[in-house]
Structures are given as structure tokens and as C-alpha cells.
A and B are shown apart, each in its own frame.
Chain A
Amino acid sequence: MNYFTEVVLSGLTRGSIYALIALGYTMVYGIIELINFAHGEIYMIGAFTALILASVLTIFGFNTIAILFLAGIIAIVYSSMYGYTMEKVAYKPIRNSQRLSALISAIGMSMFLQNYVRIAQTSDFLPFPRIIPRFPWLSALPVSMSSSQFMIFSSTAVVMVLLTLLIKFTKIGKSMRAASQDKIMAKLLGVNVNKVISLTFIIGSATAALGGILISSYTGQINFYIGFLAGIKAFVAAVLGGIGSIPGAVLGSFVLGLTESFGAGYISSDYEDVFAFIILAVILIVKPAGILGKGQIEKV
């Protein structure tokens, strides 16, 4: 396998990782125009809950498959609960005030959740079990891909397809689109906007938690700070692709992942963040709403 394909592959891995987190950012922004800074924290809480449950179940002597499913599903449910509660406490009361207030509230929420986990659990790095089993058939492929990488790719693809189907073809999806276009009009037509917003947070949090579990299993370690670092990058990816658009978030994530990978692979990994932000700046100058973003029409 030549070097070029390897660089592409590692770019795609990164892209998928960013995409799993960026989807939640973009969905929430699409519906209430809020940059949910605490989204990365939900990702971290998902990973932490899964780790805690998995350790407890291991001590209780469950078998591996049961642990994988139980810990994974409960962690995803819990993260959705956190997302739901977060919206009710920190965002709903100020939905009608300035956008700046909501942003600051989101930053506050992010700080709170990070330190809540730090104090309640630990500030140390913890080993995260490599819960994804090795797939022997992967070695038959012409590219060297680890099973975690494969899982991350396929989950991103599945989640994206499911989300697209949900939004395009279901009634819930229709109400989501209606609410994002015009909340008052949607209300008049009988859409329960509060419920739709809650649902968006629940779905976004669930994808973040799934990402948290998969990615932590790939990197093999977690601490209370991982959500913040990954969240910032995913946010950049969402903005790059056009925040508010789901295909945009995925596209933006891959563009970002590939840029970083090529920068690191051919020039120097010392400057990979610099490459990421240069591409962001260039794209935003050319297309201020992002690659797939729609320009806003100012309503007077």
C-alpha cells in the first residue's frame, strides 16, 4: 500500500470522528440557531458513563458481548437525558433573549459539566477498554485498516443515512424542518415546537455519545477534557461545511480531516492545527456561510 492511500485513510478516519460530533452541533444550530458549546461535554459524558458501567459490569462478571451492549446503550440513553435536561435548564428559559446570552449560557454549561465530571470522578487519564473486537477479515483488504477505524467509518455512514431518512421522510423530520424555518408559523400549524427542540437535543446527544464511545475505544484513554478539545474541532468542521446543514457537517468534517492529514503527512504535524484554521479562514472568506450553507436573507 502506498503512502498516499495511507494519508487519505487517516484523513478519512479523522473526518469520520469529527463528523460524529459535528452532526449534533449542526442539528441544534439548524433548529434554534444556538452554538451548543456544551455538546462536546455530552460526548465526554457518554464515554465516561460507558466506561463506568463497563467496569462495574466487568466486576460483576457479565460476558463481553452483554457488557458491550448494556454499557453502550445505557450510556447513549444517559447522554440523551443530559442533553434534554441541559436544554430545559440552560437554553429554554432564554430562548427569546439575545443570542449572546444563550451562547454564554452554553459556555457556562460546558464549564460546569467538565468540572462536575472532574470533581465527581477524576482528573487523571483513564484507560478505555478497546471494546471493539478485532475483525480478522479486515487484514484481507488491500488497505491496512484497524477494526476501530472500520467501526468509526461505518457508524458515521449509518448515522448519517438514518438522520437523512429521519429528516426527509418522517413526520418528526417534517416538524423539525418546519420549526427551523419559522417557529411561530410551525406553532400555528400545530407543531409542538418545544417537543421538537427537545427531540433535536436528544438525537444530537445520542450521536455524540455513540461517537464518544467509539472514539475513546479507538484512542484508548479518556479524561474530563476530551470533549472540549474534540468539540472545538468538530465545531470548526460544522462551520466549514455550513452550520445548520447535515450533509454540510459531514462534508466539512472530511475536508478538515483530509487537510490535517495531508498537512501532517507531507509537511509537518507541528502545524496541523494551523492548516485546519487556514482552510477555515479561506473557505469563510470565499463563502461566508460555509461550503453547503445557505446565505441568509435579511428580513426587515
Chain B
Amino acid sequence: MTQRLNELRRSLLVSLWFMLLTFPIMVIRVNTITGTVRWRWTNLAVIGIGSFFISVVWRYAMQRKAGEAQAVGILSRVGERVGAGTKKIGAVLDIPKVRTRLVGGLLAAAVAYPFLNSMYHTNIMITALTYVVLGLGLNIIIGLGGMLHIGYAAFYAIGAYSYALLNMYFGINFWLALPIGAALAGLFSLLIGLPQLFGIDMRLQQTTVFVYFIMLAVVILTIFVVHRLENSRIGRQWVAMKEDYIACQAMGVSIAKAKLTALGIGAIWGGLVGVIFAARTTFINPASFTVWESVIILSTVVLGGMGSIPGVFVGALVLMLLPEYLRPFAQYRMLIFGALLVTMMVFRPSGFIKKRRKAYTITEAERQSVIKAELEDDGEVEE
């Protein structure tokens, strides 16, 4: 009991501290022209009460994280329920049949989407899918390779600009022999340029649907490639490098090579989506590729779950669709992103959907059979 009281007292102190800390910025609002001060006391109350509750929850979550959670009240029971629930869902999802159906259903929904919804929704979905690919591309660098990269939007910009410039000065471009970015840029600019090439006259509605399907195809291609990469030799090198640099080197992996391939392969997706972006907006300027753009892409990866394909997918969709549908909420978007990034790193560094590593569990029977085989082997040697 005293312990709980103690906890409450500490939370109270924390809330007082935050009230003091945020006082000048939250409470005082000076109008320099009229020379008047507005004291916003309600803000102080909000901060006080808010930080008190957050502090209680925060401390509880900390304890849980540290593994010393005693069964205290409702919170823990809710926590347990949720935990058990997610485990159950996870188990159901692991059944191959359910998986195929789910994927099939999703695919069907994705294909039908533009026909069931207005152009506006299709357009938003294109934007969201763009970020899915960007997220997956960055994921190769940070989730697999373990390198922080805050200039990812630059690749995106390179793709966009190479398309824009090539298209502007050379018509449909032919400089396809240029390095990776430009090569892919060329490939996809051709794809987008198909209607013009064959003189197909498309209406706006059709163009949107066309771009949507290109984007969908790119998403599927990306997922396929990233998935294959993950389980390949290179992918395993990346993960090894991320986990332990020195051990990885000791195993004979060239760190320089592994880093470069991760960067290079990650960058490709940025360039590729940049091309589609440029073709769609028909207007680009450097303002579209700021550091913040990189930070948003980074957030999708981190919040969704570093290294996890479904995680990044969900992260990008959530982060891109939520603000579109909750416009008034847009002002607070970056504030919430920031707070989420910090809390996520403190309590759940693995993101919404944790990456599941390939694991092989040895059953008791298998273990026995191995031991038996070994014994037999030994016996043979002895003879």
C-alpha cells in the first residue's frame, strides 16, 4: 500500500515538474503588437493532469518491461488479455491455409479497389502505396542492414528528377544505359509512357486506375524481391552485420561490400518510386524532397516494425491514410509522430508488427534421433 502511495506521490511530482517546465511556452502568449499577455491557465491544468496520468501509465509500463510487473489492478489484466489475444491471432495466421486465403482476399480487394471507389480514394491509395515501396526500400538499409539513413528522400528525388529531366529534354528517354537509378527510371518511365507511345487516349479516370495498377504491381514486386532477398545469402549477411559487426567480419563477410549492396539495393526502390511520383504529379520541385520526407519514410519503417515486411506495409498504410481521412488531425500529425517514435523506442522497439526471424525448433523426438545417429556414427569409428 505504501508502495502504491509512493508511486502516486512520484507521479504527482512529475506532473508538477512538467507544469513548471512547460509554463512559459504553454501558458504565456504575448501579442507584441498590442502589448498584451494572454495567460492560458487551462493549458497548465491540461498539462498537469495529462502528465500525471501519463506518468502513472509510463511507470507501470516500465515495470512491466523490466519484468517485475506484479498483478496490479485492471491494467495488467487488460495487458494479459491483449497479449493472449495477439498470440492467438498470430497462431491462426500461421496456418498456411488461412494465410493463402488472407493474401488472396487482400489481393482481390486491392484489384477491385479502384473500381469500387472514387478517383479521390484511388489517388490517396496510390500515395499510400508509394510510401509502402519507399518504406520497404528503406527497410533494406535500416531494418536489415542496421544503418541509419536520413537522406532517403534523396534517392526518391534522383528518380523523380532523372525522369523529369529526361522526359523534358529527350522526350521519351533513350538514355537507358545510365547507372542503376536511371536504368530503372527509364524502365518505369516507359511503362508510364505506354499510353503515349501507342497513342492510346486515356481519360483522367483511366489514367488514375492505370497508375494505381502500376503502383500495385510495383508493391507486389517489391514485396517479392525483398522477401527473397531477406532469405538469401546477402540478406543473411546484412542481418549478421546488423547484429554483430565484428563477429560478422570474423565469419568472412566483407562489411564494406555488404553495406554497399544494402545501400544500393535499398536506393533502387527510392529511385523507382520517384519516377512514378514525377510522372503522376507532372510537377516537381526540391520542396517535395526535404529531410522531413526522409523522416516520414523512416517513421513508417520504425513504427511498422523494422525488418518486417507486413510491419512496414501496415506502418505506411496507417501513417499515410490516417492523416488523409482525419484532416483536422493533420496539425498534430508531426507532434504525434514524434511522441510515438520515442515511446515506440522505449517500450516496443520492434514496432507494430515484430519481425519474426526464421527459427527452427527441435522437437524431443528429433533430438533423440540425432543423438542416436551420432552414437551410431561414433560406434562405427570405433570399429
Direct contact of A and B (CB under 8 A): yes
Name A's B-contacting residues (CB within 8 A).
45, 48-49, 52-53, 55-56, 58-59, 78, 81-82, 85, 89-90, 93-94, 97-98, 100-105, 107-117, 119-121, 126-127, 228, 232, 298, 300
B293 to chain A, nearest CB (A): 13
Contacts of B30 in A (CB 8 A): 52, 55-56, 59
Complex contact B150–A49 (CB within 8 A): no
Complex contact A108–B331 (CB within 8 A): no
| Contact pick for B32, options A48, A55, A85, A103, CB 8 Å | A55
B224 beta carbon closer than 8 Å to chain A: no
Complex contact B340–A108 (CB within 8 A): yes
For the complex with contacts A48-B25, A59-B37, A111-B295, 18 further pairs of A-B residues with Cβ separation under 8 Å are: A45-B25, A49-B24, A52-B28, A59-B30, A85-B17, A98-B349, A101-B349, A104-B302, A105-B341, A105-B345, A107-B150, A108-B337, A108-B341, A108-B342, A108-B344, A115-B334, A120-B25, A300-B246
**On chain B, which size bracket covers the interface?**
35 or more
Which 7 pairs from chain A and chain B are nearest by CB? A108-B341, A112-B338, A111-B338, A115-B335, A105-B345, A55-B30, A108-B342
Contacts of A112 in B (CB 8 A): 335, 338-339, 342
Contacts of B316 in A (CB 8 A): none
Complex contact B345–A108 (CB within 8 A): yes
Contacts of A90 in B (CB 8 A): 342, 345-346
Given the known inter-chain contacts A93-B346, A127-B32, please indicate yes or no for A81 contacting B21, CB distance below 8 A.
yes
Distance A254 CA – B253 CA, assembled complex (angstroms) = 40
Complex contact B341–A56 (CB within 8 A): no
Given the known inter-chain contacts A94-B345, A107-B341, please indicate yes or no for A85 contacting B21, CB distance below 8 A.
yes
Distance A127 CA – B338 CA, assembled complex (angstroms) = 27
Contacts of B22 in A (CB 8 A): 120
B62 beta carbon closer than 8 Å to chain A: yes
Contacts of B37 in A (CB 8 A): 55-56, 59
Distance A105 CA – B345 CA, assembled complex (angstroms) = 6
A270 to chain B, nearest CB (A): 13
Does more than half of chain B's interface fall in helix, strand or loop, or is it mixed?
helix
B289 to chain A, nearest CB (A): 14
| Contact pick for B349, options A94, A110, A120, CB 8 Å | A94
B167 beta carbon closer than 8 Å to chain A: no
Distance A81 CA – B32 CA, assembled complex (angstroms) = 26
Given the known inter-chain contacts A55-B32, A100-B142, A115-B334, please indicate yes or no for A78 contacting B21, CB distance below 8 A.
yes
The winner among A48, A52, A117 for most chain B CB atoms within 10 A is A52
Distance A82 CA – B21 CA, assembled complex (angstroms) = 7
B35 beta carbon closer than 8 Å to chain A: yes
Contacts of A104 in B (CB 8 A): 148, 298, 302, 341, 345
B288 to chain A, nearest CB (A): 17
A72 to chain B, nearest CB (A): 13
Distance A127 CA – B25 CA, assembled complex (angstroms) = 17
21 contacts between A and B (CB under 8 A): A49-B25, A52-B24, A52-B25, A56-B30, A56-B37, A59-B37, A82-B21, A93-B346, A94-B346, A100-B146, A102-B345, A105-B346, A109-B338, A110-B338, A111-B295, A112-B335, A114-B338, A115-B338, A126-B32, A127-B32, A232-B291
B41 beta carbon closer than 8 Å to chain A: no
Identify which of residues 142-170 in chain B touch chain A, using a CB-to-CB cut-off of 8 Å: 142, 146, 148, 150
Distance A108 CA – B295 CA, assembled complex (angstroms) = 9
Contacts of B344 in A (CB 8 A): 108
Contacts of A110 in B (CB 8 A): 338
Contacts of B291 in A (CB 8 A): 228, 232
Given the known inter-chain contacts A53-B24, A117-B25, please indicate yes or no for A111 contacting B335, CB distance below 8 A.
yes
Complex contact B331–A119 (CB within 8 A): yes
B43 beta carbon closer than 8 Å to chain A: yes
Which partner residue on chain B sits nearest A108 by CB separation?
Answer: B341
Distance A266 CA – B25 CA, assembled complex (angstroms) = 42
Distance A50 CA – B269 CA, assembled complex (angstroms) = 45
Complex contact B346–A121 (CB within 8 A): no
Complex contact A121–B349 (CB within 8 A): no
Identify which of residues 237-290 in chain B touch chain A, using a CB-to-CB cut-off of 8 Å: 246
Complex contact A78–B24 (CB within 8 A): yes
Distance A72 CA – B339 CA, assembled complex (angstroms) = 29
Distance A107 CA – B296 CA, assembled complex (angstroms) = 11
A288 to chain B, nearest CB (A): 12
Which partner residue on chain B sits nearest A299 by CB separation?
Answer: B246
B175 beta carbon closer than 8 Å to chain A: no
Given the known inter-chain contacts A59-B35, A59-B36, A59-B37, please indicate yes or no for A101 contacting B295, CB distance below 8 A.
no
Contacts of A93 in B (CB 8 A): 62, 346
Distance A78 CA – B29 CA, assembled complex (angstroms) = 17
Contacts of B331 in A (CB 8 A): 119
B187 beta carbon closer than 8 Å to chain A: no
Contacts of A94 in B (CB 8 A): 345-346, 349
Distance A300 CA – B43 CA, assembled complex (angstroms) = 52
Given the known inter-chain contacts A97-B349, A101-B349, A107-B150, please indicate yes or no for A121 contacting B29, CB distance below 8 A.
yes
The winner among B25, B37, B150 for most chain A CB atoms within 10 A is B25
Contacts of A103 in B (CB 8 A): 148
B180 beta carbon closer than 8 Å to chain A: no
B154 to chain A, nearest CB (A): 12
A122 to chain B, nearest CB (A): 8
The winner among B43, B150, B346, B349 for most chain A CB atoms within 10 A is B346
Complex contact A109–B246 (CB within 8 A): no
Which partner residue on chain A sits nearest B32 by CB separation?
Answer: A55
Complex contact A120–B26 (CB within 8 A): yes
Contacts of A115 in B (CB 8 A): 332, 334-335, 338
Contacts of B342 in A (CB 8 A): 89-90, 105, 108-109, 112
Contacts of B32 in A (CB 8 A): 55, 126-127
0/1 per residue, B58-86, Cβ < 8 Å to A?
00001000000000000000000000000
B239 to chain A, nearest CB (A): 13
